[in-house]
């Protein structure tokens, strides 16, 4: 797992990566050292997902969008899959507030990786259109003010 993640980091280049999750003692993959969750601030999430799949370094890849609209990735080297046939999935993580217990309750909505990617692409397109509209409005306003 460490070797595969190190190789992916070298493919990405000089960009920070945050290792989000390690669960020593957990009987599942994270506790066995065969899985890790990561966040890559500033990375193009769709590009990183495609790079990870294309690198054939992992047997499982998950892409997550949390309630703060941050994108994280799960990478693993599970024994029941191969890089040629990896497990791929997406997840929307929400933390709804439960007023009765006064706590935030984690809710996962597992889906396809493509659905998460489609949401990310749509958000990117909306952001680009919004910036272009703002730039046009500022240009127009600046042009009529003089």
Task: Indicate whether 19 pLDDT > 80.
Answer: yes
In 13-77, which residue ranges form alpha helices assigned H by DSSP? Answer: 29-32, 45-55
SS in 3 state form for 55-118? HCCCCEEEEEECCCCCEEEEEECCCCCECCECEEEEEEEECCEECCCCEECCEEEEECHHHHHH
- pLDDT, residue 57, reads 96
Task: Indicate whether 135 pLDDT > 80.
Answer: no
Judge whether 33 and 24 are in contact, CB under 8 Å.
no
- What tens digit of pLDDT does each residue of 72-122 get? 899 999 999 999 999 998 888 777 667 787 776 666 677 788 888 888 877
Total domains present in the chain: 1
Helix (H/G/I), strand (E/B), else coil: 20: strand
- pLDDT, residue 76, reads 93
- What tens digit of pLDDT does each residue of 42-68 get? 888 889 999 999 999 999 999 988 767
Domain that holds residue 93: 2-145
Which CATH number fits the domain that encloses residue 40?
3.30.1380
- pLDDT, residue 144, reads 43
Determine the average pLDDT of the residues in 37-42: 88
């Amino acid at each position: 797992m460490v070797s595969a993640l190190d190789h992916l980091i070298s493919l990405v280049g000089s960009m920070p990566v945050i290792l989000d999750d390690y669960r020593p003692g957990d009987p599942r993959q994270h506790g066995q050292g065969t899985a890790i969750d990561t966040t890559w601030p500033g990375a193009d999430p769709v590009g990183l997902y495609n790079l990870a799949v294309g690198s054939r370094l992992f047997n499982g890849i998950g892409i997550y969008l949390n309630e703060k609209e941050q994108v994280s990735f799960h990478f693993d080297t599970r024994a029941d899959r191969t890089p040629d046939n990896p497990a791929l999935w997406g997840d929307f993580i929400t933390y709804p507030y439960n007023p009765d217990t006064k706590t935030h309750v984690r809710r996962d909505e597992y889906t396809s990786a493509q659905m998460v990617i489609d949401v990310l692409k749509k958000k990117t397109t909306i952001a680009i259109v919004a910036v272009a509209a703002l730039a046009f409005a500022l240009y127009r306003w600046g042009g009529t003010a003089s």
